[in-house]
Structure 1
Amino acid sequence: MTYEIPVTQARAELADLINRVVYGGERVVVTRHGKPLVALVSAADLERLESEPEEVEEAEGRVVSSVSAIRPLSSAPGEPRRFGIAAEHRPDGGERPPGSGR
C-alpha cells in the first residue's frame, strides 16, 4: 500500500513514517504542492528494485512494443459533434488563435 504525505508534515512525522515503511510494509510518497517528490521504501524493497533492473527494462520494452503495435482508431461517427472541440485532433499542437475563447 502507498501512503502520500506533504513534505512539511513528513518532516514532523519522520520517525512514524519510517516505522510504517519498515514494520507496516507501506511505501510512503512525500509530495510538494501535490506532486510526488520522493518515496520512502524499505531496504528490502530497494534491494529488490536495484537487483532486478533487467526485468523492469524488459517489461517496459514489452509495453512499448505492444502499444506501438496497436493501430490508430478513428472516432465513431458523430463523436466529434457530441464532444465538441475536445474530440478533434489538432496536428498543429492544439494552439488556439488569440481571442478565440478559452
Structure 2
Amino acid sequence: MAYEIPVTRARAELADLINRVVYGEERVVVTRHGKPLAALVSAADLERLAALDAEEAAEAAEPASSLGSVTALPGPPAPADPFRPGFGIAAEHHQPRRT
C-alpha cells in the first residue's frame, strides 16, 4: 500500500518523503484534491517498471506469424468498376438529359 500525501504537504516534507521511499522501501502518492497526481518510487522500482514496459513493447512488436497461420476465406469477387461496387443498390440516379 502506498502512503498518500497532499501536494502542499509534500513540498514541505520532500526530504523526509525521499527517505521513506529509499530507506523505508515505501511508495508515496502525491495527491491534489484527493486525486492521485504523481508518485515517488525508488530507483529500483523505476528500473522494474522500465523492464516491464520494454517486455510489453517487445511482445506487441512480435510479428503476427508467431500467432500461427491464418487462412483467408474466399470472399466476393472484386467489382469490375470501383465506382459501382455492387452492394445490392436497387436504384440509380441519372441526371436528366438535355435536348
1:27 lines up with 2:61 in the alignment: no
Residue identity over aligned pairs, in percent, reads 83
Matches within 5 A, 1:1-102: 1-53=1-53, 54=55
Tell which structure's C-alpha radius of gyration is larger: 2
TM score, norm. by length of structure 1: 0.52
The alpha-carbon deviation at position 55 of structure 1 amounts to: 5.1
Q: Distance in 1 between matches of 2:57 and 2:41?
A: 17
The one-letter code of the counterpart of 2:21 is V
Aligned-partner residue type, residue 15 of structure 1: A
- Residues 1:49 and 1:31: Cα distance change in structure 2 (over 3 Å): same
Q: CA RMSD of the aligned region, Å? A: 1.9
1:33-84 deviation line (CA, Å, top 9, x unaligned): 00000000000000110012235997xxxxxxxxxxxxxxxxxxxxxxxxxx
In structure 2, do the counterparts of structure 1 residues 26 and 35 end up closer, same or farther at CA, with 3 Å as the change threshold?
Answer: same
Q: Residue in 2 aligned with 1:87?
A: none
> Hey, what does 2:76 align to over in structure 1?
none
Equivalenced residue count is 58
Deviation >6 Å, runs of 4+: none
TM-score normalised by length of structure 2: 0.54
Letter matched to residue 43 of structure 2: A
Q: Where in structure 2 are there 5+ consecutive unaligned residues?
A: 60-99
2-structure distance, mates of 1:32, 1:57: 35
